[in-house]
């Protein structure tokens, strides 16, 4: 079907749970096809018929907003973005009856970012790309659920021993926690989620408010704006992590579910090491435009990406950090 | 064309009424509303589907995909549930009461 129509359908159904989204898409697609045919029979060419049909339906954003109002209380499609390591066993929650929300910001909370240091070119400097959480808030929310949270101020190592005492964030494999934190005590929330997903089952349980379940620990985010705008980076990062570790077809199906959450404005950050070209294949198969932000850092994976682009398999756009910021 | 606020305020009553006789799909509902009221009820197409889904979530209607009789893609047909029929009866009574009281105010 026409790309404008698919884009409309993606936007109109953005944020709905997987099955419901498919249903609404099919219903709207049938509506569009019938109207389209009517206009064509009446003498309009295809392009004009599509424009008129979509115009009759009204703005996709308005339709989407009304749909989300109807279904916002429905638990969102749970997306498993981690791998279950049974050796960790089941965590026991001491107190999960009361969940406090976690304040986050998408503005890098440090003036250091803007100084002429190696960090100044990093993606974290740009609003909208990451979510930052203050350690004090994280500590409060975790402790309210019976999870100990310690910070070693000397080394900037952070420890969050989960109830079974077998896992601490200090053991992160891919992230130097000191680099992810600022002198003001903030941590990159996406980095926390991404890294935890290697050893824990991390589930997006809801978008209203955006909420995560990490092996029974609930993190409910108090976002400055709509959660949907902030889901994009985590989608990209999660899929990358998933593909990097995927060894079975079933792992890839999870990745496809995650991609389904994002609409055509899906973003994937390319920091050079963890981008998987298969993400683009899936996005392209669903007629999605993938906007790619990259820091200019050349890497093997980025070269693979460029090759995929040159092969003409993708409809895409690459945004510089400045363009990305404007796009937001 | 009707006053939009009047249409919005009575949307449930209108939709339930249109579905009273037989199951219908979205475009058919729009066309039926136009036809029965000589174009007085002119739905914005994009607002129809959220309204139908809201009624479905409230269990006042049910919906099922069925093949199109014209050979096109499957359509999603809506039909009233028992709760929907009760709701329609109640809303009709409320509307008639309201209507008669307004007329009484006007001395009619």
Residues 6+ apart with CB under 8 A from A14: A64, A228, A263
The pLDDT of residue B36: 84
CATH number assigned to the domain with residue range B4-105, chosen from the 4 options 3.75.10.10, 1.10.10.10, 1.10.150.120, 3.30.379.10: 1.10.10.10
**pLDDT tier at A285 (50, 70, 90 boundaries)?**
low
Tell me the domain boundaries of chain B.
4-105
pTM (two decimals):
0.46
Flag the least confident range among A101-105, A114-118, A133-137, A222-226: A114-118
**pLDDT tier at A12 (50, 70, 90 boundaries)?**
confident
Q: Which residue of A has its CA nearest to B69?
A: A34
B92: pLDDT strictly greater than 50:
yes
Query: How far B75 CA sits from the closest chain A CA (Å)?
Result: 6
> Is the CB of B27 inside 8 Å of chain A's CB atoms?
yes
* Residue A260: its H or E element: helix A249-261
Name every chain B residue with its beta carbon within 8 A of the beta carbon of A41. Answer: none
A13: pLDDT strictly greater than 60:
yes
Mean pLDDT of A109-117: 43
Mean pLDDT of A74-92: 26
Name every chain B residue with its beta carbon within 8 A of the beta carbon of A59. Answer: 46
Q: Is A130:A183 a contact under the CB 8 Å cutoff?
A: no
Return phi, psi of residue A324, to 5°.
Answer: -60, -45
**pLDDT tier at A309 (50, 70, 90 boundaries)?**
low
Residues 6+ apart with CB under 8 A from A66: B46, B47, B50
A178: pLDDT strictly greater than 50:
no
Residues 6+ apart with CB under 8 A from A300: none
Query: How far B88 CA sits from the closest chain A CA (Å)?
Result: 20
A164: pLDDT strictly greater than 90:
no
Q: Which residue of B has its CA nearest to A37?
A: B72
CB contact under 8 A, A27 and B75: yes
- Here the ipTM equals 0.91
A117: pLDDT strictly greater than 70:
no
A122: pLDDT strictly greater than 80:
no
Q: pLDDT tens across A14-46, in order?
A: 777 767 888 999 999 999 999 988 898 888 998
**Residues A182, A191: Cα–Cα separation, whole Å:** 13
CB contact under 8 A, B72 and A63: no
**Residues B99, B96: Cα–Cα separation, whole Å:** 5
Flag the least confident range among A74-83, A108-117, A144-153: A74-83
The pLDDT of residue A251: 44
CB contact under 8 A, B49 and A34: no
């Amino acid at each position: 079907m026409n790309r404008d129509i698919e884009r409309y359908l993606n936007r109109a159904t953005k944020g709905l749970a997987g099955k419901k989204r498919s249903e609404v898409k099919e219903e709207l697609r049938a509506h569009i096809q019938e109207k389209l045919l009517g206009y064509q029979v009446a003498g309009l060419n295809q392009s004009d018929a599509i424009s008129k049909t979509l115009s009759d339906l009204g703005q996709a954003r308005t339709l989407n907003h009304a749909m989300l109002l109807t279904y916002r209380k429905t638990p969102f499609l749970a997306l498993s973005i981690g791998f279950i390591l049974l050796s960790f066993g089941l965590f026991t929650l001491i107190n999960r009856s009361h969940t406090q929300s976690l304040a986050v910001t998408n503005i890098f909370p440090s003036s250091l970012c803007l100084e002429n240091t190696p960090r100044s070119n990093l993606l974290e400097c740009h609003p909208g790309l990451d979510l930052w959480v203050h350690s004090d808030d994280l500590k409060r929310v975790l402790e309210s659920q019976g999870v100990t949270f310690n910070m070693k101020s000397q080394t900037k190592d952070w420890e969050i021993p989960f109830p079974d005492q077998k896992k601490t964030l200090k053991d992160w494999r891919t992230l130097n926690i000191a680099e992810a934190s600022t002198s003001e005590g903030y941590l990159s929330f996406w980095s926390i989620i991404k890294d935890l997903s290697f050893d824990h089952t991390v589930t997006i349980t809801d978008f209203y408010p955006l909420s995560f379940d990490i092996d029974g620990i609930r993190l409910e985010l108090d976002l400055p704006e709509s959660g949907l705008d902030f889901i994009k980076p985590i989608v990209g990062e999660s899929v990358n992590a998933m593909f990097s570790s995927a060894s079975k077809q079933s792992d890839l199906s999870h990745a496809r579910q995650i991609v389904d959450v994002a609409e055509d404005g899906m973003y994937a950050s390319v920091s050079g090491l963890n981008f998987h070209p298969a993400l683009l294949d899936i996005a392209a198969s669903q007629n999605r435009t993938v906007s790619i932000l990259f820091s200019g850092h050349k890497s093997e994976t980025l070269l693979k990406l460029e090759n995929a682009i040159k092969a003409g398999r993708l409809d895409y756009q690459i945004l510089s950090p400045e363009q990305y910021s404007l796009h937001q | 064309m009707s006053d939009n606020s009047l249409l919005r305020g009575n949307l449930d009553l209108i939709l339930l009424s249109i579905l009273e006789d037989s199951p219908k799909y979205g475009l058919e509902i729009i066309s039926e509303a136009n036809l029965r009221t000589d174009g007085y009820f002119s739905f914005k197409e994009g607002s129809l589907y959220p309204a139908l889904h809201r009624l479905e979530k409230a269990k006042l209607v049910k919906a099922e995909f069925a093949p199109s009789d014209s050979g096109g893609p499957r359509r999603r047909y809506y039909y009233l549930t028992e709760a929907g029929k009760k709701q329609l009866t109640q809303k009709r009574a409320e509307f008639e009461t309201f209507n008669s009281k307004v007329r009484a105010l006007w001395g009619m």
